[in-house]
Structure formats: structure tokens, C-alpha cells
């Protein structure tokens, strides 16, 4: 591969500019840390941390960065298609951009945002001092970060994947995608996928084993329930991705023919494996949002969640059904009426439990006292917008009708109508809601609401026109179209909407800066008059979460304790055992990253050497004698006093 | 509420466009199968509109009635566990709606997967449609002719398109005549359709297959039986036969214009086999015996010319 080929995307001025901004950003961070002599602090407090709250914050930081990256991709795409026969991007770059947009939004924005929130909130909400495997948690994060870095690097070195985020074979084979882009795909997703799988194991164990005394499963807050179910889905779905990606790598880099056109290879095997993972994946990013909305709506309607049991039931049913619907992604592959009908029915069935949840949320607000805070606005806007996504999902589920929608802008509109109010509004609601828990100050409400209104309105302007375009025969993934199609005006409208979304996102980012500068510190622990245990401890949360682990006797224990004037965190303070920080997960993942990077270019000896270093770290770990440390009673008293300080 | 306003605005815009002079392609069918799909979609839109209405009314009601600014300062919302009656209601009604739509789906899916209604007594015209790079090859085995990037069909006769691909998966779609179906390298799929009127329709590949995807369109023209026969005769008389060499050249090319030939490539490069029993084994290739003599992989192997066409 020549140098020119290696850096070929950089020949496009747009992409060059974006690449330069990534590099400059990185240089600024590195220079800043060096200038302020913060490397030591940074390493000690962040890179080597095993504190679930800090890991969660790092997840969210990466997710926001990726929302920015994926958003720029989205703007570029919408700019390219805003007018017919536009020459802003050529076909190859458009293909790379929509592929990485999809990958980044789903795997490196939505997932880590959700995982970040779960890291921060779950131990607090179930009254635990930590996650089950703190060190493994750091490994998960750094493996994910390595995968994320690798995919973003593809942009600069060698070319990004260009066969769609679905990477259908044989298009994604070396015959038709000869650049290293899809090698990046298989390896970047592999790394981050392994991180996610480990998270799944970790949080299932945490939720099963570490709940506060008295908290049975049916006394657990809804967000914890949604995360438990999500992690069960992760543990069942992600191994399929691991295998599929391994086969993909073998096909692309070792000449096997699992998915090839010849020698008995089966392109449909890829489609099946991909969607057996891929459909549950969309529930992995949506169910946690359902949990967040449940918390937010109950808190700001100042009422307990309506129909708790049926909410739990419907989530369990959704999780089971999510594994039985994958073939709706290829109704048009010629399975015949029987198979299509079965998958149609299982798919439509998901609408039933989802509907149950919708009505439960609506009824939670009945007789309530609704406060329109920023998180509540996101939760409220979710209801009407997601319903459009849901009903168009049922329309798509009808196999016959899907013959007309498949691969069109109608589909693109549908899944954004599900993913944006579902996932993005969900994590934004959670982020505004729990921010004071993380940092001890609130985000400014005015800016928060302004951002919300920009996003909620522009969202509809961006995506509603796409339903109409789809019904007019506009296929997705086309980098351009001719003026005679008449698609121009609605595409322009959609582009204007996308600009509005960008403004909303900019406001959200500016709000971080503004609030950090201007909002009062040391907020009281229970800023929103919350219902679950995370509001019982201080903001920001001390390393050990709870000085005294609370006892629980019913759902919303904290809420009732407040009513009855009880302090559920009172009790005798004892020394607390905590794990030690360790830099090993960071360095291990660094070498994993190197191994994967060399593997992308088939530099096997270098890749093997890097992998040996990784195994070396693992071997070393197994001989390590690290029993953690104790925080003394005096130290806890000291911390508690200062946190309670000027309240 | 700004959001509501903008939603309404969009809805009106949509209706204006929907009811404008030119109906949307999918709602402008010119054949029985596309008609079935159009009806199905409209039916589902109406059903869904009812659901949307229920949710929106409830939503607006809750937000206007129970906002904190309307409640007195000392109002304490009650504790409500839920109601079995209500919860059963909003489980059962959606089940009924889904069951209804499921029946419609199964029926219409089987309708469009067979010879269009009213055409059962006519012998279907079989056309092989194969994609390669960013073009379409149409072979008429009965007539012994082949076209590239355009297809002519007679009206009032059922047509069976047999689809396959010389490369990545593509999706054959003429929205005004029928829904789409994949064309794959290792199996044959079938689309049934018929055209009721004479006309020219947009056809395209709708499954992303690389750089030239956006331009991968073709024209589907329906004409009277007599015109169609005349056209076949003309092609037979005036066009050169499609030699193996010429066909290889065509396969290797990225984009080409229209052309016509007085013989088909099926003679020297047969299509892959159809699935044995499509109803049962859509995802199973075990019935595709690779030793079958009809499967000539030499001709289907695309990797040899991939080097020349895909480097950049
Ligand atoms: C922020 C505003 C966004 C805009 C303007 C936007 C725009 C688009 C457009 C225009 C496409 C279609 C590209 C094409 O078919 O030519 C697309 C594809 C896609 N988007 Fe977005 N998007 C946005 C946010 C998101 C979010 C938040 C997610 C996920 C959580 C997401 C997930 C996807 C996926 C999975 C695809 C399919 C990629 C593929 O075809 O391989 N998008 N987006
Ligand atoms: Cu799906
Ligand atoms: Cu097949």
C-alpha cells in the first residue's frame, strides 16, 4: 500500500479539515496537560481509576465526543443531499461517512452513553459501594476506548469502512471493498464488543449480588431493572457478534470463504449473524432509556410509577421477543411467505408490551404534579415522537408492505424516530438528571431547555420529510439524485432541520462550560426530591458511595423515609474496604489497540508481539497479590463532615 | 406548544404533498401487485393514525390537567399502584390490532408472492434480471433476446422476474409495479408482477452495493402485446447476438448505457438454481448442491475482474 493510498481520504478538503481538527484537539489536550503539569493527576485520578463513577464519567465524555463526530458526519450527509447533483462529497466518501455515522452513533455514542450512566447510577441505586468486579470494569472501558480510537483512526490512515454499518457480504469482502476499511470494522468492533460483553457479566453480577439489604428484585427501581435486562441481552447477543466478526476477519485477511460468493460461502449467513446480534442491539440501547424515563417521569410527576409489575413484565417480554425478530431485516431475501409471516407476527408483537409501557407512563402523570424540568421535557417529548417511530415500526413489520419501504428513506426516518427520542432523548434526560450527582452542581436550566427545544423541533423537521421521500421511492444510501426526481425541496428542508439539531447540540455543550463557571457548588444531595437510593448519598458522591449502607423494605424506600422523617443512611460507621487503583487495564488495552492496528494492515508479527504483551499483563495479574485497602473510620467521618459541610 | 405546532405544520405539509397533483410513487401503482401493497400501506396508515390519536389525546390531557402550576401548593399526589382493568385493556386492544394487521400481512404477502389475481389463466413471461457492478442485464429466454439497463414488458400479462447477481447483493425494485426483492449471487429469487397500463416506470437497485449505487437505475416500459412483439422482432432482426466475450466485457464494465442483443447470456452462463422449497428453507443453502453441473462458478466468479474495477 502506497503512502498516497494509506492517507487517501485526506485528499478531500472537507475530510482533511475534519482530520486536522481531530489532531489539533488531541494536541491541545496533550499540550494542556503538559503545560499545567497535570499528567500525574490525570493518570492517578482517571487513567488508572477503578471507581465506577469516574469510569462512567469517562464513558459519557467519549460518548459526547462521538455524538459530535457522528453529528458532523450526519451534517455532511445532509449537506451533500440538500440539493440534487451536489458535488460536495464523492460517492466513496459519502459511503464511508454513512457507514461510520451508523457505527459511531450506535456503538460508540449510544452504547457508551448508556453504559456510562449505568456505571454511575446502578451501584448507587441498588445501595452498593461498588460494582462486582471493579478492575474488570476498567478493562471494559479501556477495551471499548481502544476500539473507538481504532475506528476513528481509520478516517485518517487507510480509509474508513464503506460497506454500510451492516457490512453485508459479499460487498464487504476484499473483492468489493479492497481498502483496509472493513478490516478496521472487524477489529474495532471486536475490541469494543469484548468490552461490552465484560460489562454485561459485571453488571448482572453486581445487580444480583450487591443489592442493599432488603432490596428484593421486585423492590428495585425501574432503571436498575432495565439495566439488568439489558445486560442479560448483552450476554446473549454479543458472543454472536464476536463470532461473526472473527469469521469476517478470517474471510478478509486469511482467504477463508464463509461469506464468499464461491466455494459454498453464504452471504446470507452474515446477514443472519449480523442481525441476530443487531436487532437485540437496538433494544440494548433503548431499554435503558425506558428505565431512565420511568425514573424521570415518576420524579417530576411526583408520583410512584404506575403499573410497576406490568412495566417489569413488558420489559422481560420485549427482551425475549428481541431475539425472535431478526429476519425482518431481510424480508426481501426470498424466504417465502411462511418465514416472512412468522417474523412479521413476532415483530408486531413487540408493539404490545411497548404500548403497555406507554400507557403506564401516561397514567403515572395522572393525578400528578408535573414539573417541566429539562430531564422531564426530554421524557415528555419522547412520548409523542417515539410513538410515531413505533407505529411506523409496525408498518415496516408488515412483510408485504416492507417490500416497498425496505432500503428507502422511510426506513431511515423510522429508525431515527425510534433511536433519537428513545436512546438520545433518554441519555440526555439521564445526563441532565444525574449530572448534579456526578459533579455536585446543576446544569443551567435555561440553557438546558433552550437546547431541548432546538433538538425536539429540529428533529421533526429533519426526519419527517424522509418518510415522504421514502414513499416517493427515494432509496437510502444514495450519495446523490437527479433534479428530475423532485426530491430536492424536502431534502433541503431536512438539511435545515439538521442545522437546527447542530445548534441544539452546541447549546448542550455550551451549557457544560457555562454551568461549570457559574452554577453554585455543593448542591444538596437530593436536588430533585428524588425517590431512589442514589439521592440518599451526597453530591458529588464520595468514593465509598454510602458511609452506611441503607436498609430497604419497599419500593421507593428513600421517598417514604423522607415523608416519615427517617434518615435511612444513619447508623454506625465502620471501616470500608475498597479496591486499589491500577494502570494495568489502561496499558493492556493500549497494547490491544496496537495489536488490532497492526492486524488491520496484516502486520502479523507485530500484532503477535503486541498480543504477547497483553497476555504478559494478564499473566502478571494472576500472580498479583492485591487485596485492596481500607478507608478508616476517621477518614470517612472527615469526608462526610466536609460533604455535609455548608448545606 | 411550539413542538405541536411544528408537528401540525408538517402533517399539513405531508397531506398537501400526498394529495397534490403527483401522488407519491408508492401510492401511484400501475399493476395489481403494487396496488395490493398501496392498499395495505394506506390501511396500516389509517390504523396507526387511530393509535396516534389516542396517545396524543391522553398525552395532551395529562399535560394540561396535571401540571404543577395548576395544582395548589400543598397538593400531594396520591400513591397509585396501577389498575388491572386498565392494564388488561391496553394489553388486549393492541393484541387485537396486531392480530388484525397480522392477518392482513399474511394474506397480502402471499398475494404478492404469486401470480397477480385475474392473471392466473395466462402463461407468465419469464425474464431473468441479473445485476453486475452498476448495471442490469435482462434476458428473455423465450424470445431469445437480452437487454442492458432497460426492460420492456407487455401489459395484461403476468411477468416473472428471476433475479440474481454477479456480485454484491442488490435489490430489484420497480415501485409502481411491485415491491422489491434481493438479487444474490448464489440463488434465484422471483418477483411476480403485471402492468395494467402502458407507461414508463423507474426501476432501480435499492440495496447499497458500492460506489456506483446511486446511478444504478433502469427504465421499465410497459407496452401493448402487439408493440411488445414488434419490439422483440426488431431486436431479433437488427441486433447482434451476445457472445461470451462481449458478455465478459459487459460484466467487467462499471457503468454502461442501454444495449440490446439477439441472444441471451443464459446459454453459456446459466443462472444459479432456485431454492428447492422456498417456503421452508429461505435461509438454508443445503439444497444447493455445489457439484451440480448447472452451476458454473467460473462465470460467476467476480474476483478476477475485481482488481481492475475496484482499485482507486
Ligand atoms: C443528529 C442527527 C442525525 C442526522 C441528521 C442523521 C442523518 C442520517 C442520514 C441522512 C442517514 C442516511 C444516510 C443514507 O442512507 O444516505 C443516517 C443513517 C443512519 N443513522 Fe443517522 N442521523 C442522526 C443521528 C443518528 C443517531 C443519534 C443514531 C443512532 C443512535 C443514528 C443512526 C444511524 C444509522 C444506524 C444509520 C444507518 C447507516 C447505514 O446505512 O449504514 N443517526 N443518518
Ligand atoms: Cu430489527
Ligand atoms: Cu441466498
Q: What is the DSSP string of A496-536?
A: HHHHHHHHHHHHHHHHHHHHHHHS-SS--TTTT--SSGGGG
Residues A435-456 pLDDT 10s: 999 998 999 999 999 999 999 9
A78 pLDDT higher than 50 = yes
Interface test with B, best of A260, A475, A529, A564 (most B CBs within 10 A): A475
Q: Do B285 and A268 touch (CB under 8 A)?
A: yes
Which chain B residue has its CA at the smallest distance from A475's CA?
B206
CB B170 within 8 A of CB B212: no
A252 pLDDT higher than 50 = yes
B242 pLDDT higher than 80 = yes
Q: Which region holds residue A264: left if phi is over 0, alpha if psi is between -120 and 50, else beta? A: left
Q: Which residues in chain B have their CB less than 8 angstroms from residue A177's CB?
A: 210, 310
Give the nearest ligand 1 atom to A419 CA.
Answer: 30
Pocket test for ligand 1, best of A72, A92, A102, A411 (most atoms within 8 A of CB): A102
Give the nearest ligand 1 atom to A164 CA.
Answer: 41
User: CB distance from B111 to chain A under 8 Å?
Assistant: yes
> What pLDDT, on the 0 to 100 scale, is given for residue A10?
63
- Greater confidence, B307 or A205? A205
Helix, strand, coil percentages, rounded to 5, for chain A? 70, 0, 30
User: CB distance from B51 to chain A under 8 Å?
Assistant: yes
Which residue in B52, B287, B76 sits closest to B187, CA to CA? B287
> What pLDDT, on the 0 to 100 scale, is given for residue A6?
66
Q: Do B77 and A464 touch (CB under 8 A)?
A: no
Please give the distance of CA A416 from its chain centroid, rounded to a whole number: 15
Which residue in B155, B127, B139, B137 sits closest to B222, CA to CA? B155
CB A32 within 8 A of CB A24: no
User: CB distance from B12 to chain A under 8 Å?
Assistant: no
Expressed in angstroms and rounded, the spacing between residue B187 Cα and the centre of ligand 3 is 5
Report the range of poorest mean pLDDT among A359-373, A501-515, B71-85, B293-307.
B293-307
Say whether A148 sits in a helix, a strand or coil.
helix
- Greater confidence, B104 or B301? B104
User: CB distance from B257 to chain A under 8 Å?
Assistant: no
CB A338 within 8 A of CB B279: yes
Expressed in angstroms and rounded, the spacing between residue A348 Cα and the centre of ligand 2 is 11
Q: Do B66 and A468 touch (CB under 8 A)?
A: no
User: CB distance from B187 to chain A under 8 Å?
Assistant: yes
Those residues whose beta carbon sits under 5 angstroms from the ion ligand 3 are A 268; B 184, 186-187
Q: What is the C-alpha separation between B130 and A322, in angstroms, rounded?
A: 34
Strand partners, A577: A630
Instruction: Please state the rounded mean pLDDT for residues B282-292.
Output: 41
Average pLDDT score over chain B? 84
Q: What is the C-alpha separation between B41 and B44, in angstroms, rounded?
A: 5
> What pLDDT, on the 0 to 100 scale, is given for residue A347?
95
Question: What element of type H or E holds B145?
Answer: strand B145-148
Q: Do B44 and A384 touch (CB under 8 A)?
A: no
- Greater confidence, B286 or B183? B183
Nearest listed ligand to the Cα of residue A418: 1
Task: Concatenate the DSSP letters of all residues of A167-223 into one string.
Answer: T-TTTTSTTT--STHHHHHHHHHHHHHHHHHHHHHHHHHHHHH-PPTT--GGGS-HH
> How many angstroms separate the CA of residue B235 from the nearest CA in chain A?
29
> What pLDDT, on the 0 to 100 scale, is given for residue B18?
52
Q: Ligand 1: which residue has its CA nearest to atom 15?
A: A477
Expressed in angstroms and rounded, the spacing between residue A126 Cα and the centre of ligand 1 is 35
Q: With cut-offs at 50, 70 and 90, classify the pLDDT of residue B3.
A: low
Q: With cut-offs at 50, 70 and 90, classify the pLDDT of residue A314.
A: very high
Please give the distance of CA B290 from its chain centroid, rounded to a whole number: 29
Which chain B residue has its CA at the smallest distance from A166's CA?
B208
Q: Which residues in chain B have their CB less than 8 angstroms from residue A373's CB?
A: none
**Taking a contact as any Cβ pair under 8 Å apart, which residues of chain B between 66 and 105 contact chain A?**
66-68, 71, 75, 77-83, 86-87, 90-91, 94-95, 98, 101-102, 104-105
Q: What is the C-alpha separation between A337 and A343, in angstroms, rounded?
A: 10
Average pLDDT score over chain A? 92
What percent of chain A is predicted at pLDDT more than 70? Answer: 97
Q: Do A370 and B204 touch (CB under 8 A)?
A: no
> What pLDDT, on the 0 to 100 scale, is given for residue A524?
83
Interface test with B, best of A265, A370, A386, A408 (most B CBs within 10 A): A370
Expressed in angstroms and rounded, the spacing between residue A463 Cα and the centre of ligand 1 is 10
How many inter-chain contacts (A to B, CB under 8 Å) are there?
328
Q: Do A336 and B279 touch (CB under 8 A)?
A: yes
Enter the DSSP assignment of B214.
G
Q: What is the C-alpha separation between A205 and A137, in angstroms, rounded?
A: 12
Q: Is A101 in the pocket of ligand 1 (CB under 6 A)?
A: yes
Query: A404 Cβ partners below 8 Å, 6+ apart?
Result: A471, B26, B34, B37, B41, B175, B179, B180
Q: Which residues in chain A have their CB less than 8 angstroms from residue B178's CB?
A: 403
> How many angstroms separate the CA of residue A169 from the nearest CA in chain B?
7
Residues A585-644 pLDDT 10s: 999 999 999 999 999 999 999 999 999 999 999 998 888 888 888 999 999 998 888 887
Give yes or no for a cis peptide into B225 (omega within 30° of 0).
no
Say whether A325 sits in a helix, a strand or coil.
coil
Strand partners, B160: B126, B192
Q: With cut-offs at 50, 70 and 90, classify the pLDDT of residue B138.
A: very high
Q: With cut-offs at 50, 70 and 90, classify the pLDDT of residue A265.
A: confident
Q: What is the C-alpha separation between B162 and B145, in angstroms, rounded?
A: 15
Which residue in B207, B129, B205 sits closest to B162, CA to CA? B129
Q: Do A406 and B112 touch (CB under 8 A)?
A: no
Q: Which residues in chain A have their CB less than 8 angstroms from residue B6's CB?
A: 457, 460-461
Q: Per this entry, what is the length of chain B?
A: 312
CB atoms within 10 A of CB A343: 21
Instruction: Say which of A95, A384, A467 has its CB closest to residue B59.
Output: A384
Report the range of poorest mean pLDDT among A30-39, A362-371, B189-198.
A30-39
> What pLDDT, on the 0 to 100 scale, is given for residue A644?
77
User: CB distance from B60 to chain A under 8 Å?
Assistant: no
CB atoms within 10 A of CB B82: 18
The ipTM value here is: 0.91
Q: Is A71 in the pocket of ligand 1 (CB under 6 A)?
A: yes
Q: Do B290 and A264 touch (CB under 8 A)?
A: yes
Which chain B residue has its CA at the smallest distance from A383's CA?
B59
Q: Which residues in chain A have their CB less than 8 angstroms from residue B98's CB?
A: 345, 348-349, 351-352, 394
Give the nearest ligand 1 atom to A165 CA.
Answer: 41
Nearest listed ligand to the Cα of residue A270: 3
Expressed in angstroms and rounded, the spacing between residue A324 Cα and the centre of ligand 3 is 20
Q: With cut-offs at 50, 70 and 90, classify the pLDDT of residue B312.
A: very low
Expressed in angstroms and rounded, the spacing between residue A472 Cα and the centre of ligand 3 is 29
Q: What angle do CA A462, A397, B16 make, to 5 degrees?
A: 40
Which chain A residue has its CA at the smallest distance from B105's CA?
A398
Q: Ligand 1: which residue has its CA nearest to atom 33?
A: A102
Q: Do B75 and A332 touch (CB under 8 A)?
A: no
Q: Is A106 in the pocket of ligand 1 (CB under 6 A)?
A: yes
- Greater confidence, A207 or B20? A207
A403 pLDDT higher than 70 = yes
> What pLDDT, on the 0 to 100 scale, is given for residue A647?
41
**Grid coordinates belonging to A84:** 440534487
CB A636 within 8 A of CB A537: no
Q: What is the C-alpha separation between A494 and A501, in angstroms, rounded?
A: 11
Query: B245 Cβ partners below 8 Å, 6+ apart?
Result: none
Q: Is A582 in the pocket of ligand 1 (CB under 6 A)?
A: no
Interface test with A, best of B21, B76, B102 (most A CBs within 10 A): B102
Amino acid at each position: 500500500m502506497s503512502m498516497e493510498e494509506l492517507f487517501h481520504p485526506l485528499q478531500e478538503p472537507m475530510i482533511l479539515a475534519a482530520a486536522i481538527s481531530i489532531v489539533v484537539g488531541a494536541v491541545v489536550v496533550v499540550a494542556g496537560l503538559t503545560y499545567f503539569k497535570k499528567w500525574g493527576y490525570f493518570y492517578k485520578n482517571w487513567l488508572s481509576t477503578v471507581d465506577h463513577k469516574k469510569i462512567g464519567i469517562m464513558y459519557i465524555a467519549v460518548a459526547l465526543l462521538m455524538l459530535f463526530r457522528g453529528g458532523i458526519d450526519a451534517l455532511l450527509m445532509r449537506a451533500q443531499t440538500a440539493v440534487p447533483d451536489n458535488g460536495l462529497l464523492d460517492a466513496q466518501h459519502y459511503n464511508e461517512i454513512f457507514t461510520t455515522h451508523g457505527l459511531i452513533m450506535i456503538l460508540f455514542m449510544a452504547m457508551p452513553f448508556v453504559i456510562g450512566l449505568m456505571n454511575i447510577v446502578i451501584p448507587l441505586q441498588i445501595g452498593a459501594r461498588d460494582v462486582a468486579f471493579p478492575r474488570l470494569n476498567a478493562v471494559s472501558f479501556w477495551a471499548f476506548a481502544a476500539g473507538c480510537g481504532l475506528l476513528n483512526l481509520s478516517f485518517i490512515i487507510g480509509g474508513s469502512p464503506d460497506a454500510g454499518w451492516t457490512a453485508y457480504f459479499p460487498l464487504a469482502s476484499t473483492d468489493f471493498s479492497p481498502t483496509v476499511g472493513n478490516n478496521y470494522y472487524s477489529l474495532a468492533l471486536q475490541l469494543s464488543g469484548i468490552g461490552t460483553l465484560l460489562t454485561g457479566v459485571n453488571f448482572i453480577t453486581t445487580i444480583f449480588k450487591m443489592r442493599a439489604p432488603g432490596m428484593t428484585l421486585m423492590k428495585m427501581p425501574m432503571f436498575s431493572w432495565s439495566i439488568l435486562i439489558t445486560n442479560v441481552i448483552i450476554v446473549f447477543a454479543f458472543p454472536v457478534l464476536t463470532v461473526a466478526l472473527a469469521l469476517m476477519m478470517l474471510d478478509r485477511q486469511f482467504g477463508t470463504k464463509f461469506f464468499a460468493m464461491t466455494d459454498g460461502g453464504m452471504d446470507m449467513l452474515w446477514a443472519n449473524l449480523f442481525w441476530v446480534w443487531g436487532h437485540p442491539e437496538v433494544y440494548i440501547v433503548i431499554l435503558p432509556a425506558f428505565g431512565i424515563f420511568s425514573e424521570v417521569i415518576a420524579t417530576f410527576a411526583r408520583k410512584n410509577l404506575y403499573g410497576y409489575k406490568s412495566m417489569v413484565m413488558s420489559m422481560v417480554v420485549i427482551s425475549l421477543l428481541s431475539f425472535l425478530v431478526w429476519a425482518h431485516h431481510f424480508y426481501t431475501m426470498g424466504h417465502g411467505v411462511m418465514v416472512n409471516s412468522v417474523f412479521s407476527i413476532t415483530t408486531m408483537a413487540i408493539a404490545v408490551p411497548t404500548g403497555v409501557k406507554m400507557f403506564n407512563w401516561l397514567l403515572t402523570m395522572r393525578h400528578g404534579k408535573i414539573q417541566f424540568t429539562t430531564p422531564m421535557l426530554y421524557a415528555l417529548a419522547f412520548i409523542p415522537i417515539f410513538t410515531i417511530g413505533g407505529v411506523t415500526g409496525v408498518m415496516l413489520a408488515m412483510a408485504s408492505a416492507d417490500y416497498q419501504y425496505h432500503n428507502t428513506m422511510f426506513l431511515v426516518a423510522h429508525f431515527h424516530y425510534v433511536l433519537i427520542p428513545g436512546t438520545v432523548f433518554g441519555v440526555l434526560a439521564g445526563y441532565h438528571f444525574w449530572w448534579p450527582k456526578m459533579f455536585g452542581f446543576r446544569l443551567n436550566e435555561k440553557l438546558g431547555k433552550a437546547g431541548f427545544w432546538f433538538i425536539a423541533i429540529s428533529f421533526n423537521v429533519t426526519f419527517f420529510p424522509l418518510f415522504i421521500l421514502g414513499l416517493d421511492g427515494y432509496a437510502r444510501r444514495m450519495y446523490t439524485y437527479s433534479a428530475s426526481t423532485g426530491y430536492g425541496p424536502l431534502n433541503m428542508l431536512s438539511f435545515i432541520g439538521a442545522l437546527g439539531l447542530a445548534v441544539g447540540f452546541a447549546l448542550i455543550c455550551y451549557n457544560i462550560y457555562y454551568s461549570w463557571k457559574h452554577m453554585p457548588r455543593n448542591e444538596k444531595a437530593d436536588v430533585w426530591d428524588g425517590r431512589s437510593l442514589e439521592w440518599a448519598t451526597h453530591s458529588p458522591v464520595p468514593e465509598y458511595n454510602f458511609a452506611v449502607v441503607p436498609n430497604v423494605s419497599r419500593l421507593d424506600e428513600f421517598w417514604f423515609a423522607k415523608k416519615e422523617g427517617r434518615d435511612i443512611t444513619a447508623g454506625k460507621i465502620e471501616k470500608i474496604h475498597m479496591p486499589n487503583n491500577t494502570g494495568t487495564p489502561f496499558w493492556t488495552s493500549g497494547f490491544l489497540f496496537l495489536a488490532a492496528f497492526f492486524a488491520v494492515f496484516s502486520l502479523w508479527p507485530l500484532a503477535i508481539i503486541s498480543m504477547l504483551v497483553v497476555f504478559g499483563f494478564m499473566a502478571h495479574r494472576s500472580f498479583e497479590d492485591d487485596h485492596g485497602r481500607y478507608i478508616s473510620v476517621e477518614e470517612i467521618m472527615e469526608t462526610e463532615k466536609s460533604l455535609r459541610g455548608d448545606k | 406548544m411550539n413542538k405541536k405546532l411544528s408537528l401540525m405544520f408538517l402533517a399539513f405539509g405531508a397531506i398537501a404533498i400526498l394529495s397534490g397533483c403527483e401522488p407519491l410513487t408508492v401510492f401511484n401503482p400501475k399493476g395489481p401487485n403494487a396496488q395490493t401493497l398501496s392498499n395495505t400501506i394506506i390501511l396500516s396508515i389509517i390504523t396507526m393514525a387511530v393509535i396516534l390519536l389516542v396517545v396524543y389525546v391522553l398525552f395532551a390531557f395529562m399535560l394540561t390537567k396535571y401540571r404543577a402550576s395548576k395544582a395548589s401548593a400543598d397538593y400531594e399526589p396520591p400513591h397509585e399502584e396501577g389498575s388491572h382493568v386498565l392494564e388488561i385493556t391496553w394489553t388486549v386492544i393492541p393484541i387485537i390490532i396486531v392480530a388484525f394487521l397480522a392477518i392482513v400481512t399474511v394474506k397480502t404477502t402471499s398475494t404478492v408472492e404469486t401470480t397477480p389475481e385475474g392473471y392466473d389463466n395466462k402463461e407468465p413471461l419469464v425474464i431473468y434480471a441479473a445485476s453486475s457492478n452498476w448495471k442490469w442485464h435482462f434476458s428473455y429466454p423465450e424470445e431469445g433476446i437480452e437487454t442492458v439497463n432497460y426492460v420492456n414488458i407487455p401489459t395484461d400479462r403476468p411477468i416473472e422476474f428471476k433475479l440474481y447477481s454477479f456480485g454484491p447483493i442488490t435489490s430489484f425494485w420497480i415501485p409502481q409495479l411491485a415491491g422489491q426483492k434481493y438479487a444474490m449471487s448464489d440463488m434465484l429469487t422471483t418477483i411476480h408482477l403485471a402492468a395494467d397500463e402502458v407507461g414508463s416506470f423507474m426501476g432501480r437497485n435499492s440495496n447499497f452495493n458500492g460506489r456506483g449505487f446511486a446511478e444504478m437505475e433502469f427504465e421499465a416500459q410497459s407496452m401493448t402485446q402487439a408493440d411488445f412483439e414488434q419490439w422483440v422482432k426488431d431486436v431479433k432482426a437488427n441486433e447482434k447476438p451476445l457472445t461470451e466475450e462481449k458478455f465478459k466485457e459487459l460484466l467487467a464494465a462499471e457503468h454502461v448505457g442501454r444495449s440490446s442483443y439477439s441472444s441471451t447470456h443464459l446459454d453459456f452462463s446459466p443462472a444459479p438454481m432456485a431454492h428447492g422449497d422456498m417456503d421452508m428453507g429461505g435461509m438454508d443453502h443445503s439444497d444447493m448442491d455445489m457439484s451440480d453441473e448447472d452451476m458454473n462458478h467460473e462465470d460467476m466468479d467476480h474476483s478476477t475482474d475485481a482488481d481492475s474495477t475496484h482499485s482507486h
